[in-house]
Amino acid sequence: MNMNELQTARAKAVEAMSSLQVTRGETMDEAVLATMNSFKEEVRAIDKQIEAIDIMREVALDAGKPVEEKQADAKDELREAFGAYSRGKITGREYELRANTVGANGDVVPDDFLKELQETILEYGMLNSSARHLSTEDAGTLSIPVINDTTTSGVWTAESGAITKADFTTATKQMGAFKVATGIEVSTELIEDSFFDLESYIAGALGTRLGRAIEGAIVNGTGSGQPEGILVNTDTTSFPSAVAGVVDSTDLITAVFELQPSSRIGAKIYVSDDLMKDLTLEVDADGRPLLQQAAGATPADPVQMTLNGYPVIVNYELADVAVASESAFIGNMDNYMIRDVRNISVKRDEFSGMANDMVSFYATARLDGKVIAANDAFVKVVTAG
């Protein structure tokens, strides 16, 4: 439906709800309540469609602007919004109220600043941005069903013969919610210094800290009080290098084939910075580097490497090459799920540091993460001893 049809349908649903309310008053039985709820769901669904059309229109209008103009507009808007907030000078812009974002000594931050903060986190945490995200409104335990049907197949049978039945093998994986937090304290003089880019400084510092913590948990998290990391997950295959104290390109290529074919689709090779250095120095018999520049590399982003067609990406949470260290893993990050319970909460505290004329900013997020896959999803390379 187009916008006019959606608005007409919404008006009819609202009118039907009003008529039902007037007719039945407070004497509604279960059937009438079910009808009322049906109208409510219809209105919600239409509102979502209208919102989607509005967003598409905004994108279409914005697409005609030069890139530089769009970037400048976005940056000016973000800095103006948070600049007013950080200096305690909120103007006509209303606070966007969010669940669980108001503390005893803090206020919610305007939505525009949340956008900048989130972008900073995703820029730092490549795994976070590549993983599969699921947002929920509350922090209750979330059960993810997993079905394993790899041991059964169809059975050839005679005409009119009995059909053999075989049940699925099912299991569940549980996801909770853990809180990650950080804070930063700045002087009032620094806030009042209009020549200092306070907005970018605070957003960058808070975002990088949260991003570093989340990235570390995705790789090495214990699963206790924090997400469960890929290297810790018991379903992650462990592959030893062929030579003691060394990991090379042959180990990585061989490790790829520890995954079944379907799990290799979209897989990437994540290596420590130390291992990337070693791989960069490897050459074939004719002296050509084994690492090749990816087809997607551009003059603006040339450092994209591949090994046998698989992207090779540096991850700073992986250990340097040493005996028993885990300096690489291989897999598709679609098989790692991050459950986001709510948006990032940022609070401004002018009171606890008042004696020293300091203002504090705090950022928190609630999430869980773990490998969610019925098939093998990742393989880690362990340096042999």
Q: What is the rounded distance in angstroms from the CA atom of residue 155 to the CA atom of residue 158?
A: 10
Q: What is the rounded distance in angstroms from the CA atom of residue 214 to the CA atom of residue 368?
A: 10
Closest CA to 293 of 283, 301, 285, 303: 303
Q: What is the pLDDT of residue 87?
A: 59
Q: What is the pLDDT of residue 347?
A: 84
Q: What is the rounded distance in angstroms from the CA atom of residue 243 to the CA atom of residue 246?
A: 6
| φ and ψ at residue 102, rounded to 5 degrees | -110, 125
Q: What is the rounded distance in angstroms from the CA atom of residue 99 to the CA atom of residue 58?
A: 27
DSSP string, 273-311: HHHHHHHHH-B-TTS-BSSEE-TT-BTTB---EEETTEE
pTM of the model: 0.69
Q: What is the DSSP letter of 162?
A: P
Q: What is the pLDDT of residue 168?
A: 75
> Which stretches does DSSP call E strand in the chain?
132-135, 142-148, 169-175, 178-187, 237-240, 268-271, 292-293, 305-307, 310-314, 326-331, 336-340, 345-349, 358-371, 378-382
pLDDT along the chain (385 residues), means of 10: 79 83 73 80 83 66 58 62 59 37 42 65 75 87 82 87 83 90 87 65 82 94 96 95 96 96 93 95 91 78 83 93 97 94 83 90 92 91 96
Q: What is the pLDDT of residue 69?
A: 63
Q: What is the rounded distance in angstroms from the CA atom of residue 263 to the CA atom of residue 256?
A: 9
Closest CA to 373 of 279, 257, 185, 237: 237
Closest CA to 106 of 373, 367, 350: 350
| Site of tokens 């603006």 | 300
